[in-house]
Amino acid sequence: MTGAAPARPTVVVDVDPPAWLIVPPADMASGPWREAAAALFAFSDEVDRTGGVTPPVLDVDGALDGLLAMAATLGETSRLAAGFSVPGAWPLPVVVDAGLTGDDAPDLLDLGRARGGSPLEAPLIDELPDDVGPGVVVTRFDLDLEGRVWVTVTAAARRDGLDVTTTWRSTDLGLVPLQTPAVVELAGRVRLVDRADDLQETTR
């Protein structure tokens, strides 16, 4: 008689709305999740208007479908978090990756995606705050085959035997100083659990 296979570690991102929305796998995107997500969109719209900011013009169902489609492309040790902290520019998807630090773990610059690609210039590299790191924040600008400039901001942390990266990409270069603090803060809210029923994500 064989025992059950050990459960795979599950990535947990401990966040609360209205700053973040954790996007579940499509088969777990229940009606209540969509209702809560739509309510967050409506709340963010109201906050923008109250603050004199023009909110994004969005088809809410289409936007949620797009986030779910993006989440579906991620691996088992990744999650998708949609950010709402930049007025007039939400939701901003951030990919969260986590895994145990092994003997063959890459150095922090590789972990932070500071190398490779088609950079227009040398990437900007800063240290993470003490409450998130040790680690680095890498900001790089790359040119794609269609001539567009993409910015990639990655916070890479290595702490307590865990490697964590949070990555945001966009062609809107003006969002970099506004979104980078959120990408960094998110890296400090990631952990692994051994059992799916131990999840404590409040937005799932």
| DSSP secondary structure letters along 49-109 | HHTT-PPP---HHHHHHHHHHHHHTS-TTEEEEEE--STTS--EEEEEEEEE--TTPPPHH
**Cα angle at 140 between 136 and 143, to 5 degrees?**
160
- DSSP code for 116: S
Ordered mean pLDDT values, 10 residues apiece, the chain (204 residues):
56 90 85 94 97 96 95 92 97 96 87 87 94 94 91 95 96 97 96 62 42
Q: Which pTM does this prediction carry?
A: 0.89
